[in-house]
Amino acid sequence: MSWPGFQIAANGSSVRTELLAGATTFLTMAYIVFVNPDILATTGMDHGAVFVATCLAAALGSLLMGLLANYPIGLAPGMGLNAFFAFTVVATLGYSWQQALGLVFISGCLFLALTLTGARRWLVDGIPLALRSGTAAGIGLFLGFIGLQKAGLVVAQPATLVTLGDLHRPEPLLALGGLLLIALLELWKVRGAILIGILATTVAAWALGLVHYQGLVALPPSVAPTFMQLDVAGALGGGDTLSAVLHVVLVFVLVEVFDATGTLTGVAQRAGLLKTPEHRRRFDRALLADSGAILAGSIIGTSSTTAYVESAAGVQVGGRTGLTAIVVAALFLLALLFSPLAAMVPACATAPALVYIAAMMLREIAAVEWDDLAQALPAAACALAMPLTYSIANGLALGFVTYAVLQLGAGRWRQVHMATWVVAALFVLRYAL
C-alpha cells in the first residue's frame, strides 16, 4: 500500500509506522479534551460546547498540518494560552469570553501576517534565550499553581495568602495519587500516561461517590453556544485604551511565537525534516498551518491552537509525514463521541495533568546562563511573576523590561536585537498608560 501524496517511502517510513505514530501522538496529547473544557468553563463558556470545539480545533489544525506541510505534528488548544485566556483576560481584565475569543482571532490575524511576511522568524530570532526559557518556566509555574488550587492542595489564607489544603479531604489525596501515577507511568515509558492518570483518578473519584456515572459514549453536544460567538468589535471597542488591547494581543502573539515555533523547530529537527531546501519549504508551510489553526479555533470557540511538543512521541515511533497528523485528526474526531466521559471528569483528575505539565516546562530554566546576572535576573523575574501575579502578561512585561534595562546599564545595548527593544517599549507604554 502506498500513499504517494505523503512521500512515505521517500521519508524513510511506512504506512503502518505512520498509523502507529499518529495513535501514539494522540494518546500523549488527548488529555487536552478533558483539561481545556475544565479551564475555559470557568469563564462561563458551555462545557460541552468547549469539549466539541477542542476536538474540532485539534482535528482541523492537525489536518492542516498534515495536508499543507506533510509534517507529523499534532495541533490542539495550547496549555498556558488557555490559562491566560481564562484567568487573566476574562477573570482579571474583565473581558467577556466572547471578547476574549475576538482577541484570539485578532492575534491569529497578526500571527498569520507575521508568518506570511517572514517577520515571525525575525521576532523569534530577536528574543533572547533567557527570556524564552524564563517564559516557558513561568507558564509552567502558573499552570502548576492552577493545578494545585484545583486539587485543593493550595488554598487561600489571609495571613500568608496561600497555605496547604486539608489533606483529610479525598480530592487532594486523589490528585496526589493521580500525579504519582502519571509520573510512574512516564518512568515506565507507558504511552498516554497523562490520559491514563486522568481516567484512573476519575474512576477513583466515582468509586468514592464524588462523581456520578453519566455513560461513556453519546452523540456530541452542540457547539452552537461557542461557534461564531467571538466578539471582535466588542474587544476593540469595549472602552479600553488601544494600549490595553495591544497588551493582550501582544502576549497572545509572543506566547504563540515561543510555543509553536519552538515546538515545530524541535520536533522537525528530531525527525530530520530540516536538512534540505524542500524540508525548509515544508517548514514554512507548517508555520502557515499553525497560524491558520489559531483563526479556526477562535471561530469554533476555543483559545489559541498550537503545535504540541508531545508530537515528538510519534516521531520517536517513526512518524515522518503528514499521515501521522491525519491520524491524530481522525482520532480527535472520534473523541467527540466520548462527551459523557469528559463531563464526568472532576477537577481533582485534571489537576495532576496540570502539575505534571508544569514540571516538564520547568526544565527550560536550565538553559539560562545563571552566572550572568543580566541574563539570570530577567529570566527569574519573568518566571516568578507569572504565578505570583496570576498573569502571564505581567511576567512577560517584567522580564522584557528588566532585560532591556540591565543590558543598557551593562553597556551591551548594541548586542540586543531590535525585536526585544520593541517588545519592551510596548510593555512600558501599556503600563505607563
Q: Please say if the pLDDT value at position 1 is more than 70.
A: no
CB atoms within 10 A of CB 283: 19
- Mean per-residue pLDDT, 184-193: 92
* Cα–Cα dist 92/414, whole Å: 37
Q: What is the pLDDT of residues 344-377, one digit of tens each?
A: 999 999 999 999 999 998 988 999 999 999 999 9
**pLDDT at residue 179, as a whole number:** 97
- Phi, psi at 161, each rounded to 5°: 75, -50
Q: Where are the domains of the chain?
A: 4-360+370-432
- Choose the most confident range, by mean pLDDT, from 113-122, 286-295, 378-387, 421-430: 378-387
**pLDDT at residue 238, as a whole number:** 57
Q: Please say if the pLDDT value at position 123 is more than 90.
A: no
Looking only at the bridges linking them, the beta strands covering 75-77 and 305-307 are: antiparallel
Q: Please say if the pLDDT value at position 270 is more than 80.
A: no
Q: Is the pTM of the predicted complex or chain greater than 0.75?
A: yes
- Where do runs of H (alpha helix) occur along 318-433? 322-335, 339-344, 347-361, 373-388, 392-409, 418-432
What pLDDT band is residue 287 in, cutting at 50, 70 and 90? Answer: confident
Residue 61 or residue 282, greater confidence:
61
Q: What is the pLDDT of residues 214-231, one digit of tens each?
A: 889 999 999 999 999 999
Q: What is the average pLDDT value for the chain, to the nearest integer?
A: 91
Q: What is the pLDDT of residues 307-340, one digit of tens each?
A: 998 898 899 889 999 999 999 999 999 999 999 9
**pLDDT at residue 240, as a whole number:** 56
Instruction: Say if CB 14 and CB 321 are below 8 A apart.
Output: no
Looking only at the bridges linking them, the beta strands covering 161-164 and 75-77 are: unpaired
**pLDDT at residue 11, as a whole number:** 82
What count of residues does the chain have? 433
What cell does 196 get? 491514563
**pLDDT at residue 263, as a whole number:** 82
Residue 352 or residue 282, greater confidence:
352
Q: What is the pLDDT of residues 192-206, one digit of tens each?
A: 899 999 999 999 999
* Cα–Cα dist 403/397, whole Å: 10
**pLDDT at residue 201, as a whole number:** 97
**Torsion sign across C-alpha atoms 395, 76, 101, 243:** positive
